[in-house]
Structure 1
Amino acid sequence: MEKRSIYSWKNNLLGNKSKLYNNDTLIGSLESNDWTLDANVSIRSDQYSFKNKGLFNPYTEIRNKQGELIGDIEYNNWTGGATISLIDKKYKWSTRNMWMSAWKIEDEQGQIVEVSPSVMGNGGTIESIENSELLLSISLYLQKRVAVMYSMIALIPIFALLLF
């Protein structure tokens, strides 16, 4: 039986900073720019930057603390899912339910990471069977990206009303 690790994150009031905990011990953080969807994640001694590229066919570059490209994320705009390509492996990011309120990362063998935001959207949990700072960083980044994208979609009717 595989061992699962459970992590939790909490967002600051503005939502641009998140702190990652394991058993109430701070192990990492995410700082993001919601307008560009870029972010920097630090977990223990590892650091990763996520740089969003492209307008009509968006993808995100993943770089390590030395600035080396170690992977990318390509998005499927119709499903909200994504393909995560790392140097040595590919993963799929997809929803765990039809309400798109929980997410998962899986490889060819099955589910590795489960991401469950809280109802209030100010935090949540990440459950992982792989003890990988990189996969934790990707999970934290993707849940943040989903939250920002939902927020932007929610603002479209307001902007439409203001224009007319």
Structure 2
Amino acid sequence: MSTKYTWKKGIFDCAYKIYLNNQQIGLLRDKKFSQTSEGEINGKSYLFKTTGFLKQRTQILNENNELVGEIEYNNWMNQANISLGARKIIWKYSNIWHSKWNMSDSTGLQINSSASTTAGTIETNTLDDISILTGLFVTNYYIQMSVVIIIIATMVPIWTTLL
């Protein structure tokens, strides 16, 4: 059985709204000027806390501030390894334009997503809320990192000219 979620986000908004059957069931929001994001889905709250500089990792904490998972990113920004308890899940882009991604594990978990800048769909064979929210978080993380790299790359010629 497959379940289809949708999400929407304004271009300059820092929150993803997650819908099931046209009813909002979740939210993923970045905290401004922070390395944390808050997520909520079906009444459960989570905090995504990113640490590190060159080799970043994200801890996933529940509403009791207990560690429930961790995300490790690869250097090419096209794959992530997610640990949720004993489960190991692989998140990866499934096309060259980075508009589609999927998640899978050894238990048969399958989550597929396609997106534009402001909206997307998530189709899954599970009702595992934390996996769905984590997949959307990883997507947002890689989008933000891409923007940072573009800004730095455009600033390098300016800095070298001034020096």
Q: Against the structure 1 CA distance between its residues 137 and 90, is the aligned structure 2 distance closer, same or farther, given a 3 Å change threshold?
A: same
Q: How does 1:32-51 map to 2 (within 5 A)?
A: 32-33=30-31, 35-51=33-49
Distance 1:34 1:68 in 2: 23
**Please, which of 122, 126, 130 is the counterpart of residue 130 of structure 1?**
126
Query: Could you say which residue in structure 2 is the equivalent of 1:146?
Result: 142
Helix, strand or coil for the counterpart of 2:146?
Answer: helix
Query: Could you say which residue in structure 1 is the equivalent of 2:65?
Result: 67
Structure 1 runs not aligned, ≥5 long: none
Q: TM-score, normalised by structure 1?
A: 0.89
Q: TM-score, normalised by structure 2?
A: 0.89
Distance 2:28 2:136 in 1: 7
Helix, strand or coil for the counterpart of 1:71?
Answer: strand
How high is the sequence identity, in percent, across the aligned residues?
A: 30
Q: Against the structure 1 CA distance between its residues 125 and 37, is the aligned structure 2 distance closer, same or farther, given a 3 Å change threshold?
A: farther
Q: How does 1:51-62 map to 2 (within 5 A)?
A: 51-62=49-60
Question: How much does 1:111 deviate?
Answer: 5.6
Quick check: 1:31 aligned with 2:38? no
> 1:113-132: CA deviations, max 9, x gaps?
112121xx112111111111
Distance 2:158 2:17 in 1: 36
Structure 2 runs not aligned, ≥5 long: none
Moved more, 30-39 or 82-91: 30-39
Quick check: 1:160 aligned with 2:161? no
Distance 1:61 1:72 in 2: 5
Distance 1:141 1:127 in 2: 16
Counterpart contact for 1:34–1:148, Cα < 8 Å: no
Counterpart contact for 1:117–1:124, Cα < 8 Å: yes
Q: How many residues align?
A: 160
